Chain A
């Protein structure tokens, strides 16, 4: 069973990678005065593998900073232990330099990693792997559960660090079998979740979150019991799961769930989960050690805000975002998110859209958010247009266009789309360029509906009665006696037309 699971994951990873490749260069973004973005300060929020992943993504979507990103990525790769990342990096760079309009320097002019270093790392990786595997084997022979679990865990961590995700996942799942306490289960699940997020393999997240939640419950209750039973000896175990720790764990799970929902395009749910994360920016609060390793607090602010804008009603937005004091801590990390929220609450829709487009670079370079950005933005836009129109019974399109900073034709296009989809109950006077509320005579509508329903039901009723009569008379369609006759008969009838 586990094998199947593993295969499944590797497949999805491959699929994701191939789909990423095809998306490259389709969504190139700019960095200029109108779209500010500071690569250095952005990437300084991240460490390790995620920094490299993000840099590679930046190279593929943002050619104007590709060179800088490339240099940074080389630096990061040399600090890591996975030389194969170098190939991925070069591949991304080459692709973007063939597609983009901006002239990029040739790959050979850029710093490269030394082959000597790569060889050394590979050798070192190999010897460490052999060592760890030997250790695991001896543990297995001794049949000490805890040691075996640790052996698997070490191997998993090691595999992850060298970029061998399938085997990392395999060892994590194996280690589960040797867990003796819920704490171990919890650790295993969280590490797996971390691994999945790093791989951007969102589809499996909910499963592990579910398992981890159960384990978290168990840990909490057992530590509570222990604390009650024997104060002196339990202090040690209880200290490992203080309430702060628990909050961090809970937040991590919320974050994973939110990402899972985001991946499935359940933006509203994703928004609620993002907004529920506990505050804290250092290693003390929030997501604890995941900050830097996986995300930055600023990312959380962006995710939460963008999803909420696209999916929540105005009142829900107010309650969930503006009056959500814990989430305010995240918002402080990204001043432009605060700007957006303030503009939205002040009904300055133009401001919202302008800020969104101003920081579109920042949003597009995010590895978790970018596949959904276009959808989220258009949802936000639709919501804003509907909100704007709500108090009017008729409004000129050019006033609307002014309020949103669009041209009249653009506005008309959006409004037509919304009218078609039924989000706005209005009609457009394309001559005078006026949007009017549809006037409905509810009484007449009710009558019409009642009559229509009544007639429909009566008709269906008659047909059913007739059908019953057919059944009672045993006039049922029977399988054809000869296979051929049916065909011939059919031909006859069709000729009849």
Chain B
């Protein structure tokens, strides 16, 4: 077969006739060995008959070919002065909806390339928001599972945030499909490879979106993931991580009424820098914080101090785009003061509550308390004579569906309203099964076997028939550098490993 790689006509012919996607992918990748620019130009050109190659090809059946042509043309078009005509918006849009993921996975870097051009192209079309559903479709359909991170993900969130257009689909994606896997590949274009930055950016932006929409629990998870992203030994933490830490702390105060311990892998450099910022004082002054010295309990103190702090560093918060959160924090403080009061008092007059939170207006206090009762933050009743009686919290576990979403994963869909113990057990069992499976994977890996042999020293007794307690389902999963010692786990050189 005399493959004509040098013209668009030849390529189109190959695309339409080829029945082996792998070969085709190879051909397309190596179109015109003369160089990248030439290759892109060929892909973007029209056919000799003046016909648009896209009109010849079927968007779904010829996904791979269309992908190459579309991405090249879009790229050339946006690169100004190249004189290339942009592809018609309709076909771009259609392609994004109908493309065949199996074929597309042969050229993920082209998908990324296409995705990155989409936003600008949509803007040129007059409405950048148009790109959002397309990007969403790309991001969710390209990887194997919706919980798999691709470099398209951060672009999607960025575009959606920049245009202040957060669709319900995006929120659902963020909440129901927290990232637990990576879509990895390697391409010759380094800028389209997945990078640590995608991970940071996606989780940081995801956190922001979820905070904006009030899904605080999930937002905390996203910020935490951004915060604990691994780094090379000598690298300083990324700037985004510091921003994530700031937002994490603020959201913790707003949503949980106080600080939670930071995850284990938080860089100490970050916490140190954070201590030097005004945010530290701010969260220390928050009513739920463990620094009673700064808090100074008593009538109308807590919120006043917060307000002073807000005024003091207002410009800084504004310039760091945290002003909204900080204001929310100040506004939420009375809630948590009241929440703390329920631990101390059984009954309390509205005026007294008002004194504690620094609000003189009784009807405002009443409204606040009513709101809190409605949202079930406190369990209380207000009597005719303006006395609030706090009831003991009912003896149910305070676990919302939100909290265990990550656990349940997408087994259950989004229609759950109540968490039951059997459900939790099921989730835990699934988790254990997953862990033991992973455990076996590790056990089979070459690295592990060689380490185990080294440590076990060869023939010192076989104990494989009964894997150590740490290795059954439900057992703990060892850290990477915490492989079981030889005494519990010795392996004969000739034997393959048999588990359980």
A211 CB within 8 Å of chain B: no
B395 CB within 8 Å of chain A: yes
B235 CB within 8 Å of chain A: yes
Question: Quick one: which of B195, B224, B344, B431 contacts A427, CB cutoff 8 A?
Answer: B344
User: Which of B81-89, B403-411, B483-491 lies on the face that meets chain A?
Assistant: B403-411
A394 CB to closest chain B CB (Å) equals: 10
Question: Quick one: which of B158, B181, B194 contacts A475, CB cutoff 8 A?
Answer: B194
Known A455-B403, A458-B406, A476-B232; judge A447-B397 contact (CB<8 A): yes
Q: Determine if A467 and B228 form an interchain contact, defined as CB atoms under 8 angstroms apart.
A: yes
Most B CB contacts (10 A, CB to CB) among A431, A432, A469, A487 go to A431
- How far is it, in angstroms, between the C-alpha of A489 and the C-alpha of B238 when the chains are bound? 11
Q: Which B residues touch A431, using CB under 8 A?
A: 347-349, 387
Q: Determine if A479 and B161 form an interchain contact, defined as CB atoms under 8 angstroms apart.
A: no
B79 CB within 8 Å of chain A: no
User: Which of A97-105, A267-275, A361-369, A437-445 lies on the face that meets chain B?
Assistant: A437-445
- How far is it, in angstroms, between the C-alpha of A479 and the C-alpha of B269 when the chains are bound? 14
Q: How many residues of B contact A (CB 8 A)?
A: 71
Most B CB contacts (10 A, CB to CB) among A427, A429, A461, A496 go to A496
Q: Determine if A469 and B397 form an interchain contact, defined as CB atoms under 8 angstroms apart.
A: no
Q: Determine if B263 and A455 form an interchain contact, defined as CB atoms under 8 angstroms apart.
A: no
Binary contact readout B384-423 vs A (1 if CB under 8 angstroms, 0 otherwise): 0001001010011111000110110000000000000100
B191 CB to closest chain A CB (Å) equals: 13
B199 CB within 8 Å of chain A: yes
Q: Which B residues touch A459, using CB under 8 A?
A: 221, 406-407
A130 CB within 8 Å of chain B: no
Q: Which A residues touch B349, using CB under 8 A?
A: 430-431
A219 CB to closest chain B CB (Å) equals: 48
Q: How many residues of A contact B (CB 8 A)?
A: 51
A427 CB to closest chain B CB (Å) equals: 5
Q: Which A residues touch B480, using CB under 8 A?
A: 468, 471
Most A CB contacts (10 A, CB to CB) among B346, B407, B431 go to B346
- How far is it, in angstroms, between the C-alpha of A448 and the C-alpha of B395 when the chains are bound? 8
- Judged by DSSP, the binding face of B is mixed
| Contact residues of B between 162 and 188, Cβ < 8 Å to A | 162, 178-182, 184
Binary contact readout B91-130 vs A (1 if CB under 8 angstroms, 0 otherwise): 0000000000000000000000000000000000000000
| Closest chain B residue, CB of each to CB of A468 | B480
B343 CB within 8 Å of chain A: yes
B274 CB to closest chain A CB (Å) equals: 16
Q: Which A residues touch B397, using CB under 8 A?
A: 444, 447-448, 451-452
Q: Which B residues touch A468, using CB under 8 A?
A: 480
Q: Which A residues touch B228, using CB under 8 A?
A: 463, 467
Q: Determine if A479 and B235 form an interchain contact, defined as CB atoms under 8 angstroms apart.
A: yes
A392 CB within 8 Å of chain B: no
A143 CB within 8 Å of chain B: no
| Closest chain A residue, CB of each to CB of B399 | A451
Q: Determine if A494 and B182 form an interchain contact, defined as CB atoms under 8 angstroms apart.
A: no
B243 CB within 8 Å of chain A: yes
Q: Determine if B407 and A497 form an interchain contact, defined as CB atoms under 8 angstroms apart.
A: no
Q: Determine if B428 and A430 form an interchain contact, defined as CB atoms under 8 angstroms apart.
A: no
B355 CB to closest chain A CB (Å) equals: 11
Q: Which B residues touch A444, using CB under 8 A?
A: 395-397
Q: Which A residues touch B424, using CB under 8 A?
A: 451, 454-455
User: Which of B26-34, B68-76, B200-208 lies on the face that meets chain A?
Assistant: B200-208
Known A429-B346, A445-B395, A496-B158; judge A476-B230 contact (CB<8 A): yes
Q: Determine if B431 and A496 form an interchain contact, defined as CB atoms under 8 angstroms apart.
A: no
B373 CB to closest chain A CB (Å) equals: 17
Q: Determine if A476 and B196 form an interchain contact, defined as CB atoms under 8 angstroms apart.
A: yes
Known A475-B199, A493-B205; judge A429-B347 contact (CB<8 A): yes
A346 CB within 8 Å of chain B: no
Q: Determine if A430 and B345 form an interchain contact, defined as CB atoms under 8 angstroms apart.
A: yes
Q: Determine if A462 and B196 form an interchain contact, defined as CB atoms under 8 angstroms apart.
A: no
| Closest chain A residue, CB of each to CB of B208 | A497
Q: Determine if B406 and A469 form an interchain contact, defined as CB atoms under 8 angstroms apart.
A: no
| Contact residues of A between 394 and 431, Cβ < 8 Å to B | 416, 419-420, 427-431
Q: Which A residues touch B162, using CB under 8 A?
A: 495-496
A198 CB to closest chain B CB (Å) equals: 34
A422 CB to closest chain B CB (Å) equals: 9
Q: A448-B398, A462-B178 are in contact. List 4 more A-B contacts (CB 8 A).
A: A427-B343, A431-B349, A455-B404, A463-B228
A-B contact pairs, 10 of them (CB 8 A): A427-B390, A430-B347, A434-B346, A460-B263, A461-B435, A469-B180, A475-B194, A478-B232, A490-B243, A493-B243
- CB-based closest 5 A-B pairs: A444-B395, A477-B231, A448-B397, A441-B395, A429-B346
